[in-house]
Structure 1
């Protein structure tokens, strides 16, 4: 017995302290049991009582602002030690506009309007954990409108997170949280011993965590498209950060680059997450694509009711601020989804109706509205972008523009307006699962060919492919997802006009997590589609076929009577003539000759001539007088 006591006494003090600390049970605090400020309510829904703040247009950037927006708790701990803060939350339907709150910067009563007293927990819409066996760590893949757990002490939601130290002899502490955005529900808070690993089931039950870290798969290797003539990039956000460099060699921020994320409060800029994405690209030498400057969603609420002249001034300030902070942007999606989501309250596009306060921006008319071209607001946006970003490749971006030819033609009409003014350098084509499922790839490829007639490189900007079946409830289906990847991806990757593809997420936390669109699991293991994709991209040799023929000319140009020669060809096979809206007007078959003659019976104007040769397709503009 004496020997055992001596052995205990000889243990290092740090080990004794940790041993004692690890015995401290987690402390569970139901959110509604605190002293609620007047702006908080405590409803009950489907058996869960929670707290939520009343709707308000007032959001302080870095603090609750008033005592009415604070909840105060008295928390008694079982013993001294350091604790991490966990929260069970639910983000509302407005996603990025419903996903933030504050917690106290340490214990004690805080000053409502003192920024240093509070830690901002923002961008919670696509993070968190909801599966019982998941260890609740720094990010996770939770979605909106579901209850999920977060380890706030391990997640940077805009400010450096903290843990909480409880000293011996002072086990009862005051703790406070504060409201930021309405639409966020909080069910319970848990203080769990730092250094232990808590699963969702542990936290739900208030049970102790484990000292054994979870076993996870660790990816290795270089990005898939290393050494290729086109990039395979990824969207960058907290859920997508782990092992990004093992898969992708181009960076696009997910929500961090949207104006509403950066400047939700006028003249108060939150660059934290966007800085992180840009820093990675600069550090690794990856192209950085800014997403996005102008859109009809996720825009600042405060700009909606300003006079048009003041709105235009703010747009200029937004462009200038981005240009100053990020001088080495490779690509910018200047206007996002122009055919689907106008920056106009009352717009009834595919994403509409845009109601006041929805984040549409409502600055459509400040940019010129439809104007004489029908798309003056888009042209003005690109003119401003060319002014502020003279050395950056300017892109337009939209969805459902390659699925159906009528949409392709409409999109091409906008692109050609920009091309004629030398305002656009590339064409973004989203590739979400709802755009490709049940659409023959031959149709999509034909529409990509049509968009390529504008003479600008194409980029697949937001590719994802679902991975669940039609069971009730739907279940993950690796074989189904793999088959769809094998059907869709090669046609896009090998298209000669496509210069890069960006996956819109690859891990849980993906915006289509519920549809199983992620290709790596939460423990980093790779689903079948990712295993195949790595091998396909790394081993597929991309042909030089498809390069533009620099020697090819149209003569004379202008063609006074619609008669011209195509010269400098290399085994010309066909010549196609389109109008500026992408409508095919004439096809001439050519038996592999270097020169071809074309006679057009067309009214005067500008046309696009696509010359199909053995080695690829070349586009030229033709003026008919």
Structure 2
């Protein structure tokens, strides 16, 4: 074969690959495309094995509990339980006002997530129906719900570049009037939510909209971020957009984001939404995450959902996205964009919980992953008074029991790191106090089980 014929043969193969949807990356060519399904050439065990190894290395840490008597000597034979309460990695969901009216919805949120994003309640369109008529009532109610249940909150969003999502009265504004409206929004919303929103999606979907840029110039984007930083220095400011990881990008997003960073725009994190149709290809998604990680900013999957009428495919999609995200060193959290079929923006085909509150296959898979990535262990101290374990990063209740003595509970936080984290617990073997009786016991039916909750009781360990 001549050199020319060899080159021609290679080019023909590449053309055939593209015609058949067999991109080397194995990605969809756009929303709803089936190319993603055809391109999954790597056996599942290959990507999953690599992801699990990364998870073990990145998301866990060794711990050592030393139990001593009040005389300072090691106490062998003590029972130690390590019960994980929160995760270092952010597992969250979008919520809406349903959390204020439906106790089953509210209970599901507080028992299965640690972060929340308000679906609409902190958007400009929702907060200011007419000039100066500002209300944060529902957002504040959701903030109170989050605070009562120890949930961290992502702020979504200050502005939105898509014209159809502007307040109706804003659409006709231009020039100084529009700039004044932007300033009023900044000066109202940012201080109002200061200290309550951990993150802010400052200007949503700048890659796919241009309402403010067309009317005020591209410098308005930098201004929005810089002014938000001035008004709330502690909030982490995010870019948030779709098609950063789902499908082959329309253009070089990294180049544009890096240009903004080089100009001094305070971008603290990259929000990759993650709205998937068809099948999630974990190999392709990892490649996209690797590319975004070159920007050296934390990545959050901010709006994950998978639309598929087949709940088993939906479950596999969820696992692929979550396992790849949890395994990636640049990713710090993942937020699903709704969970219940009765309040899911894309309907039942994107839900993990059916309308009757039974879990579908995707919901069961989600709970299995949370069980897999949560550490609850128990053991006995040795002659040296030590109990050792390796657990997922996060906060733990460390509970120590000894025959005929009152249990002791302390908190341990496993942060990222490679060294052993140590906790020393003094224990009084003569203390036999009895906990108070719990009060305000409540029970809520959910998915063939009962969720119990009660007020904290003095002296109780769990």
The TM-score bracket by the shorter chain reads: 0.5 to 0.7
Instruction: Check whether the contact 1:467–1:518 (CA below 8 A) recurs between aligned residues.
Output: no
Query: Could you list the runs of 5+ residues in structure 2 that have no partner in the other structure?
Result: 1-82, 100-104, 374-390, 395-415, 419-462
Query: Could you list the runs of 5+ residues in structure 1 that have no partner in the other structure?
Result: 1-223, 344-362, 370-375, 469-476, 550-625
Offset, 1:498? 0.8
Partner of 2:312: 479
Q: 1:306 aligns with which of 156, 162, 173?
A: 173
More helix by share: 2
Partner of 2:438: none
Partner of 1:258: 123
Partner of 1:451: 292
- Relative contact order higher in (CA < 8 Å, ≥ 6 apart): 2
Offset, 1:427? 0.5
Which structure 2 residues correspond to residues 49-448 of structure 1 after superposition, within 5 A? 226-239=85-98, 241-243=105-107, 244-295=109-160, 296=162, 297-328=164-195, 329-343=197-211, 363-369=212-218, 376-407=219-250, 410-420=252-262, 421=264, 423-434=266-277, 437-438=278-279, 440-448=281-289
Instruction: Check whether the contact 2:123–2:158 (CA below 8 A) recurs between aligned residues.
Output: yes
Which structure: larger Rg? 1
Q: Distance in 1 between matches of 2:417 and 2:87?
A: 18
Q: CA RMSD in A?
A: 2.7
Query: Structure 1 residues 367 and 410 mapped into 2: Cα distance closer, same or farther (>3 Å)?
Result: farther
Instruction: Check whether the contact 2:128–2:167 (CA below 8 A) recurs between aligned residues.
Output: yes
Offset, 1:535? 2.2
SS in 1 for 2:357: coil
Task: Give deviations 1:329-373, integer Å, cap 9, x for gaps.
Answer: 210000111111222xxxxxxxxxxxxxxxxxxx3345423xxxx
Offset, 1:327? 2.0
Offset, 1:245? 0.4
Partner of 2:376: none
Instruction: Check whether the contact 1:419–1:454 (CA below 8 A) recurs between aligned residues.
Output: no
Query: Structure 1 residues 225 and 258 mapped into 2: Cα distance closer, same or farther (>3 Å)?
Result: farther
Instruction: Check whether the contact 2:299–2:330 (CA below 8 A) recurs between aligned residues.
Output: yes
Offset, 1:288? 1.3
Instruction: Check whether the contact 1:225–1:249 (CA below 8 A) recurs between aligned residues.
Output: no
Partner of 2:404: none
Partner of 2:14: none
Offset, 1:286? 2.3
Q: TM-score, normalised by structure 2?
A: 0.58
Q: 1:490 aligns with which of 323, 326, 333?
A: 323
Q: 1:512 aligns with which of 346, 358, 364?
A: 346
SS in 1 for 2:290: helix
Query: Structure 1 residues 438 and 287 mapped into 2: Cα distance closer, same or farther (>3 Å)?
Result: same
Partner of 1:499: 332
Offset, 1:263? 0.6
Q: Distance in 2 between matches of 1:385 and 1:548?
A: 32
Query: Structure 1 residues 278 and 410 mapped into 2: Cα distance closer, same or farther (>3 Å)?
Result: farther
Query: Structure 1 residues 325 and 312 mapped into 2: Cα distance closer, same or farther (>3 Å)?
Result: same
